[in-house]
Amino acid sequence: MGTITGLGTKVGTEPIIMAGSCVLVFNSLGHLLLQRQNENLDWSLIEGVMEPGESLEETAARGLFKETGLRAKTYQLVTVLSGNATNDEYPHEDVYNVRAIFVAKEVEGELHNHVDQGIECKFFCLETALPNLNPSTEYVLKKTGYLLQ
């Protein structure tokens, strides 16, 4: 299928439930890797939508590599988030996400940005204000305790 927005042509305007994974990548200073998105210039987490036959951990690994060129030896599940707060609105459909949140451990590789996914990748200190933070990313970081409520 390739894109979430393409799904609307198959199911019409009915709300969609989509499973996926977010990956939290921290550097040695404890700074979090975020990616600036093409469409709205927001900074967001590295994430991926589950493909048929994939586990949520495999989705996390594929998303991390595709968007950043990085690989992790292990992924630690932090939590699973769902409900109205995970809703994304697209031009022709509402998508309710079920997101598994993982922390990538023992990350290796050379960081690069996949141009179809975002403009740039950058590490941010979570103790300072984050510029143009995507609302969905802010929700995830607050629910997981990485940002103060």
Report if residue 46 sits inside a domain: yes
- Divide the 149 residues of the chain into consecutive groups of 10 and give the mean pLDDT of each group: 54 81 96 90 92 96 94 97 75 79 96 77 92 91 89
- Name the residue range of residue 113's domain: 13-143
pTM for the full predicted model: 0.85
Predicted local distance difference test score (pLDDT) of residue 1: 42
Predicted local distance difference test score (pLDDT) of residue 95: 81
Report if residue 129 sits inside a domain: yes
Task: Please count the structural domains in the chain.
Answer: 1
Per the DSSP assignment, residues forming a β-bridge with 24 are 103
Dmax over CA atoms of the chain, in Å, equals: 46
How many distinct helices (H) and strands (E) make up the chain? 3, 8
| Burial environment of residue 50 by CB neighbours within 10 A (0 to 12, 13 to 18, 19 or more) | buried
Report if residue 60 sits inside a domain: yes
Domain with 75 in it: what CATH number? 3.90.79.10
Distance of CA 100 to the CA centre of its chain: 9
Predicted local distance difference test score (pLDDT) of residue 5: 52
Report CA-CA distances (Å) from 60 to 11, 112, 130: 26, 17, 23
Would you state the torsion angle of the CA atoms of residues 100, 23, 149, 94, taken in this order, to the nearest 10 degrees?
-60
Helix (H, G, I), strand (E, B) or coil at 110: coil
